[in-house]
Amino acid sequence: MTQTFETLVFPYLNHAVRMFESGYATAVDIDNAMRFGCGYPKGPLTVLDEVGPAVVRDALAARFAETGDHLHQPADLLDRIADEGGSFTAGGVGSAEAPRLQHEIARLGVVGTGTMASGIAQVFAQCGYDVVVVGRGEDKLARVTAYVTKNLDRAIERGKSDEATKAEVLGRLSVTTSRADLADVDLVVEAIAEDIAVKRDLFRDLDEILKPGAILATTTSSLPVTELAKATSRSADVIGMHFFNPAPVMKLVEVVTTELTAPAVDETVRALTAKVGKVAVSCGDRAGFIVNALLFPYLNDAVRLAASGADLTAIDADIKEAAGFPMGPFELLDVVGNDVSLAIQEELFREFGEPGFAPAATLVAKVAAGELGRKTKKGFHDYS
């Protein structure tokens, strides 16, 4: 362990304990979310058990005494487990039965033509489902077909597929500019702009078009699923199905239920997620879900650490070496985009009201200066 590891990773572990302690998500789902959503070698509760709950608790307590930051105050459950010599993950997998499809799912719809929508359409088509993709124009729809075709061609080049399979997958995809063509699908996944008003209008429209019993899923990563459910007359059939980008590659899907979601809909979506080769984690409808709620406060802390004069490149290298994360915090911020990161951190601050969640001043300044990361050739690192 290094000082950088303790400074940045221990509060992240503590936050994971609080999430588990609150009953928001299980230990298994929290660990799986960070493993399959971020590519971490181990989940936070597994790491905590390996480092030692007492070690983490004592280090956090000492830091809390210095800073007074509530995020550094050891969670009550961490304190108890440390005193008892217990574990967060012992017997973690459990013996729960695998979810089963409670609704018949044969034909699927995807609304949207961006990278996420295209990837989701590919995932479903590759797993034998007929998929209807709805977009606003023929040119945008052509990009969906081109995206899937390019991915399939790459798989053929790597010897992981063949032309016959490619033809079958593309044969299951149909594209249209008319939402009315979704009338007979069993489940629709919405993957349009992250704008609550635009999504709400879409859900109102889909409510009129879809057959009774069809499931409406949203891929939103930050907006309230409950608001979309209330825009329909079938709130029990609305659920979050947050794929990670790129959908054909990333294994995680956060399945987000509202207080209105029917249990059969939840189970069906989790079963469908497993059928298409993804890992489902269950969580409730609040800002950040599991992954973003744990990831972005850690990234925000890294920005604050850098503001104290620490070397960014050294922090990135230290975290990759000590924690085994695929990217250091500043490399990741630059990939995600500092504007996106700021928006997520602002939403977490609004939702939880934690003073420690207030966006770091340097992150705000980077966005104001237009230094957004790789997409602008400059962020925390220079890519020019």
Catalytic site positions: 221, 242, 254, 292
11's tokens: 């509060």
Give me the phi and psi of 217, to 5 degrees please.
-115, 145
Give me the phi and psi of 331, to 5 degrees please.
-60, -45
144's tokens: 């969906």
Instruction: State whether residue 194 is helix, strand or coil.
Output: coil
What is the layout of strands, in order, in the sheet containing 107-111?
173-176, 130-134, 107-111, 187-190, 215-218, 238-243, 252-257, 279-284
110's tokens: 């995807």
Alpha carbon distance 147, 211 (integer Å): 29
First to last CA, the chain: 34
Alpha carbon distance 33, 292 (integer Å): 10
Cβ-contact 331, 339 below 8 angstroms: no
Alpha carbon distance 291, 297 (integer Å): 11
DSSP 8-state assignment for residue 162: -
Alpha carbon distance 339, 371 (integer Å): 9
Task: Looking at the chain, list the stretches that DSSP marks H as alpha helix, in order from N- to C-terminal side.
Answer: 3-21, 27-38, 44-51, 53-67, 76-84, 115-126, 138-157, 163-172, 196-209, 225-230, 263-275, 291-307, 312-323, 329-336, 338-352, 361-368
270's tokens: 């989790």
Instruction: State whether residue 258 is helix, strand or coil.
Output: coil
Instruction: State whether residue 376 is helix, strand or coil.
Output: helix
Among 109, 101, 102, which residue's Cα sits nearest to residue 209? 109
Cβ-contact 14, 78 below 8 angstroms: yes
